[in-house]
Amino acid sequence: MRSISAIGLALVKNSEGLVLTAYKDSVGTPTIGYGSTRGVHMGDVIDQPEAERRLKDDLRVAEACVNLNCPQLTQPQFDALTDLVFNIGCNAFANSTLCRLLHKGDFAGAADQFERWDHAGGRVLPGLLQRRLAEKELFLSASHDANSERDGMNTQ
């Protein structure tokens, strides 16, 4: 089973930022750490190790979703999709046009779908658009798609 690389992890952390006190995200969901929403209540406070643990747990869910829905990916594609799934959820991804295009082998068409996921709460958010553009760039990159990375898939 493939897992996110250090490059993908940096994208997630950079996109989410770290907040150790619960806050409401752009659609009003209580959130903490690196974008964790599971079991979060306003007033919750965590420390850095707990934020890292939550991130690891949340990423396992996103990785499993990408592995299940798109098993034949390069590492950059996997990383980009894991960041997307981490942000939008597995159900939204699995039922998306992006996922359907991947199943058809239309990687260019799939890449063009990233930017469609720049809305939250019915409005375009500049931060989400930046994130989607970074995911798309990573998805299309060959810079860290060395054969050794693809052949030596990260496993757990």
Active site (catalytic) residues: 16, 25
Beta strand spans in 87-144 (E): 119-120, 123-124
Q: Is 24 helix (H, G, I), strand (E, B) or coil?
A: strand
CA 8 to chain centre: 8
> Tokens standing for 105?
């082998």
Q: What is the dihedral of CA 30, 19, 13, 38, to 10 degrees?
A: -30
Q: What are phi and psi of 22, to 5 degrees?
A: -55, 140
Q: What is the dihedral of CA 81, 86, 88, 94, to 10 degrees?
A: 50
